[in-house]
Amino acid sequence: MSRILTAPPHSGTPALGITLPETLYQSLERHPNPALLNQPLHGQGFTAWSSGDVARAAEEIAFGLIGHGYARGEKVALFLDSDVYFALADMGALLGGFVDVPIYFTSTPESIRYVLDHAEARVLFVANREAYDRAQPVLEGTKVNLVVVTTGPLPLHENAASSYAVITLDQLRAEGRAARTDEGVLALRRRIQPSDVATILYTSGTTGTPKGVVLTHENISFNGLTSYSGIPDLRRGPGGETVLAFLPLTHIFARSGHYGALHYGMSVYFCSPDEVASRLVEVRPTLFMTVPRVLEKVHARIKQKGAELTGLKRRLMDWALGLAEDYSVDDKPMHPSHGTAHRLADRLVFSKWREALGGRARYLIVGGAALSADLTNFFSAAGLNVLQGYGLTETSPVITFNRPGRNHAGTVGEPLPDVEVMLADDGEILTRGPHVMQAYYKNPVATAEVLSNDGWFATGDIGEITSDGWLRITDRKKDLFKLSTGKYVMPQPVEIALAASPLIEHAVVVGAGQKFATALLFPDDAALKAMAAQLSASPTATVAELCALPAVLERVQTLVDEANAGMEHWSTVKRFTLVPDHLSLENGTLTPKLSVRRHIVRQTYADEIAAMYDGEEIGAELAAALKARHAGE
């Protein structure tokens, strides 16, 4: 065991003993906001909900559910878009003393059924008629006896023999409005305890059956509020921070941040991931939470547009790109200190990059996956505070994050106050504190595997602690694989380096049981076509044809060589295949959190993997993948 890592002085204040409804009520009392939550309209514009509107709607939902006879602790499932209506249903359920159970909006009917059955949900909120139609085939036989449709007309539901009723959110609110009293609201608020279970979050899982993560009110409120306290200049209430929220509220990363935003009275504008580019310009946020892939795409777009310039504009862009790529956030606090050249680049080029993000962004909070040090430095050079953190659903989620003025690129920062971090003998990251889940729902065996009697949670991630106390993630413990030589390969560093290229959408390093590691590389179609145009390839060539072009493969080999640099020789990629395909939710190769399902990828592309080992003995894992791939043919 290593030393225990804790928060440095003056890096935030632990927020303990707060229920999730109190994040809203404390904000309503201290800094009410007339545009607290903002629902996107089709096209442009938003409908604003004030702090009072949100509180009143939540109260009516709570009393409406209570009026239907549901008892404290019963489960309310949410099959909703990540928008104002999710926030209202969530807060209403929590205020009523219920446990809410979000369901990924991309879930298959089978996954919906599993969650409803396992959680024993009694109520299901659905976003609209389309969402109802997706869930309806699996509802019979579950314990759900009330479906609430949040927007649009009621779906066709004329079967009197059905085991559940269907009503609109307006109907539920009207019922609750008739029962609501100020004294009743106060009684509900007082009845909730910080230690009460607030939610069960079913992890999407890269393998196996989803597990229900049990989190209390304090688990989540501690995490969201304590994290935000580590950014001391965040502004509260109207005229303070403006947030663009596009990450799914079914994920704890977005959800924890949402309660922090409520508590600070920030103005939150919801939008779908597909609308981010246009909504950034419209909303002009000062803060947003994001996953690395969004920044990778912005970075790729900047470089691609630069490559399309000519003459003086091209030379200016290349010069500015060079300054940004040489920048180190570790050594220099912010870009104005860099002297005349940097200030000139800021005025002529970097300011335009900031405009693409709305022009007012103060903080970009990054989580959900590893962000390369190069991207942290790149965006920081342009005056954007990129703060990367680390955590899991089981830790509510934040364990560590980089603070303003204490930002080390390539690390995930330092622990939250009251959070402990330690490395096990094999390098696995362990953590203890008020952020750690209570259990996996109905799964004591899985709980005991990761949660020790003295409160240490085993994350499954491999890491290291720098000499000055920052945590660095090196890989997932389950992603490590052993070569036939006995050496272990950590795929993540090479994968991150490859995916940083605009050309590579996903990189998956494979090779368990083989003599050496190889990689499946999935190209970005637009970037591939742009490269092919530079190489004077036929404009009518298909993606598959472009992937086979010698000139393209030569360029990709250069990327692989660069990614291999500095790695132990057994961890380097010896061969690669450029696959004219995409990893996606639809084909099952990505989870709803956009994590790669490696076993599915290995099976789906077993032939391509085997081709990279032509002439080599096939190991047991690859042989099994080939068998599964061709079963039934």
Residue 479 pLDDT class (50, 70, 90 cuts)? confident
pLDDT at 334: 45
Q: Which of 374, 215, 379 is nearest to 290 (CA)?
A: 379
Most confident residue range from 105-114, 212-221, 404-413: 212-221
The count of domains in the chain is 3
**Domain enclosing residue 350, as ranges:** 288-477
Q: Using a CB cutoff of 8 Å and minimum separation of 24, what contacts does 596-604 make?
A: 596/206, 596/506, 596/508, 597/206, 597/207, 598/206, 598/207, 598/479, 598/508, 598/510, 599/206, 599/207, 601/508, 601/510, 601/520, 602/510, 603/628, 603/629, 604/629
- Mean of the pLDDT values across residues 609-617? 89
3-class SS of residue 439: strand
Strands 212-216 and 242-245: unpaired
Residues 406 and 499 in one domain: no
pLDDT single digits (tens) 481-529: 878 887 778 888 899 889 888 899 999 999 988 989 999 999 999 888 8
Residues 470 and 493 in one domain: no
Mean model confidence pLDDT for the chain: 91
3-class SS of residue 573: strand
* CATH value at residue 492: 3.30.300.30
Q: How far is CA 449 from the centre of its chain?
A: 25
Q: How many CA atoms lie within 13 A of 34 on its CB side?
A: 1
Residues 510 and 616 in one domain: yes
pLDDT at 605: 94
Structure tokens at 125: 């909120």
* CATH value at residue 428: 3.40.50.12780
More confident residue, 339 or 171: 171
Residues 332 and 470 in one domain: yes
pLDDT at residue 593 is higher than 80: no
pLDDT at 305: 84
Residues 179 and 305 in one domain: no
Residue 615 pLDDT class (50, 70, 90 cuts)? confident
Share of the chain above pLDDT 70, in %: 96
Count of C-beta atoms within a 10 Å radius of residue 360: 15
Structure tokens at 389: 């953190």
Last residue of a domain, one of 192, 223, 242: 192
pLDDT single digits (tens) 161-187: 578 999 999 999 999 999 999 999 999
Residues 341 and 358 in one domain: yes
Residues 522 and 456 in one domain: no
pLDDT at 335: 46
* CATH value at residue 104: 3.40.50.980
pLDDT at 159: 53
Residues 151 and 294 in one domain: no
Last residue of a domain, one of 143, 160, 192: 192
Kindly report which listed range (6-15, 54-63, 155-164, 343-352) carries the lowest average pLDDT score.
155-164
Residues 498 and 450 in one domain: no
pLDDT at residue 531 is higher than 90: no
Residues 442 and 485 in one domain: no
Last residue of a domain, one of 174, 192, 210: 192
3-class SS of residue 618: coil
pLDDT at residue 156 is higher than 80: no
Report the C-alpha gap between 103 and 114 in whole angstroms. 10
Structure tokens at 99: 């446990």
Residues 383 and 406 in one domain: yes
More confident residue, 42 or 22: 22
Residue 571 pLDDT class (50, 70, 90 cuts)? confident
> For residues 462 and 470, is the Cβ–Cβ distance under 8 A?
no
